[in-house]
Structure 1
Amino acid sequence: MPVEAAVTGIGMITPAGPNTAATWDGVCAGKSLARPDPVLAGLPVDISCPVDFDPDAALGRRLARRLDRFCQLALAAARQAVADAELSPATWDADRIGVVLGVSCNSMETYVREFTLLGEDRQHLVSPLALPRSVASMAAAEVALDLGVRGPNFTVTSACASGATALGVARGLIASGACDIVLAGGAESGRSRMAATCFTQMRALSRGGPEVASRPFDTDRDGFVLSEGAAVLVLEHPDRAPARGARTRALLRGFGSTSDAHHPVAPHPEGRGAESALRAALADAGCAPSDVGHVNAHGTSTQAGDTAEARALLRVFDGTPPPVTAPKGVLGHSLGAAGAVEAALTVLTLEKQLVPPTANLSRQDEGLELDVVTGAPRPVALSAAASNSFGFGGQNAALLFTTA
């Protein structure tokens, strides 16, 4: 019998807006949100997909000043998710609530700033908050501090598969009986000069104009656009949610995690690890490929990545994959947060029976025979959908959601 976790709440902060509704509307509009970024001014690639977010207004000035940006985003999304799930600290058992968040690059700019002071022999100016603001585990820790929850609390870091992997791990905590509720997802602020420089040197970033920079599955795709954001989902035991009168938005039924063991940054050219992760998620959920009516693709808009993913999907679905979307054409690539954002979008696709379009796909690569939704949202009738996430080092994660 598949092990399920009920999704009862969603919180999101993305370049499309400060909440879940705005993010969904922005993704369905199908227009790139990339723009010139003052943070990256003067660099060879100076565009990104920033989040319009005032941390002082959202969290209060004193708390916001203590937190690095990825922690600010995580905390704001977690508060939204708790409210959406209609949870109240007055009614929960804090010892039975866990937090699992995915983070990848976390605070590059904080490290650069403080190391620069140290290298200039100005160590007396290094902030005492530098370490607690910037270590990857602080996003989950700050969520627990803010909400007063005392269950398992840890951070998953598996490159750009981090957010999706965190959800899979969280479902395991529900299934094992360790937790009644887990707040799970990912947070990242990839808009840093160091990250932009590193990815540019690797030829991973698009050099196109902002309006067409990220082009998943397009013949002329040339890389991704750095982004930021956070998504947190509330997972509960499927019996607990209806008992407290909560809405179950979807069920997380399958999770697959694999490694390519192929290359430090390049995916396996045939997408073998991606294929095995999706097959594992299907088996875990007790679903056949024919049960899946939609795939939310990783779709970074790199030549190698999109080709590998398409080949994997064609094999899993015997040459005819279901309708596919790739949100990074709109939102850019939020690195460790991307898998959580896209998982949340997959839940919304199931709820609304509507697949958002993929932005900037004007000429689909002839070698990638996928049914990629473009132009406008497509109405669908589906009961199961998958979300793919892949990261450097060949780290792969696939999630399988079904309707409640």
Structure 2
Amino acid sequence: MTNSTAIDDADSPVVPENTVRGDGERGSDFARLSRRIAQAGLLDRRFGYYAVRLGLVAAAFVGGWVAFFALGDSWYQLLVAVFLAVVFAQIGLVAHDLAHRQVFRSRRSSEIAGLVAGNLAIGMSYGWWMDKHTRHHANPNHEDHDPDVNPDFLVWSREQAAESKGLPRFLGRWQAFLFFPLLTLEGFNLHVSSVRALRRPTMRHRAVEASLLAVHAVLYVGALFAVLSPGKAVVFLLVHQAIFGVYLGCTFAPNHKGMPMLRGEDKLDFLRRQVLTSRNVRGGVVLDVVLGGLNYQIEHHLFPSMPMPNLRRAQPIVRAYCEELGVDYLESGLVSSYAQALRHLHDVGAPLRSGSPAAG
């Protein structure tokens, strides 16, 4: 794994050769939109917002562990497990913003904070996740280039279903029904993938990442078994990690699942590649907090380094501009977005259920 390409490089895509529209405005479709966004001041840093947000998340993290030690060996600790699962997911969303350099101007500051939030606080390799997420942003929903649609466990298109073997072929038949139960394993998958990534010699800061992951594991597991009986400690760990995985999975699932898939030589310009493969989720300020702003997935993919609170303000500009261009802009309710994703999973698994997985 290499992190030679920073996530925020996605803000500087290769765009088509300059053109001049009838109104005299120069540049590619994305360049023209980018100028409107910049003129509105929506790429400016929001240091006050992030100071409050990081402070609240840090306070919740510390408070959760204080409650854990104060409560002692009790089954009421399962309530703490649920609370800390939500806090861990919120820290993951903060790490996401740090990786996109939404918080700090410098790469070094973002990286240090990301290592603390990802590796030390929640046991997820910041470098591994950043590399994976960079590739996703560059080619969302592209079967050959987006690691988020690799058929490791599930299949995301009928072509993948036709080529599937082993576990994906077995699970693919009923994957729509298995999707949410499988998310209970996502927290564990993040930890396992983080450790596996440490074996790659090209990983930047490998020693630091390994050390921080080890410290997290020792403190986390040590705290559970020091305070709780072995049985309660195991149940706490399972509940905590399962809910953590479901929360993260439910945060990212509505954004691209069920949207058009790209394959092979399919090529779109930057703006259409990001807009047509993404879905926004309609909701208010509470949903913004719960999903960490990722409900504005279209705006986020177009401008990854835009601070989260500015995404809501960017939405009407982006939506109106897409209407000008005749580019489909999809926004759905939360429940509807999950339904679309599950229908897509069920549809692409149909050939496997029929026993003749022909691509179609």
Q: Fold conserved (TM > 0.5)?
A: no
Structure with a larger share of its residues in strand: 1
Q: What TM-score, normalized to structure 1?
A: 0.26
Highest CA radius of gyration, 1 or 2? 2
Structure with a larger share of its residues in helix: 2
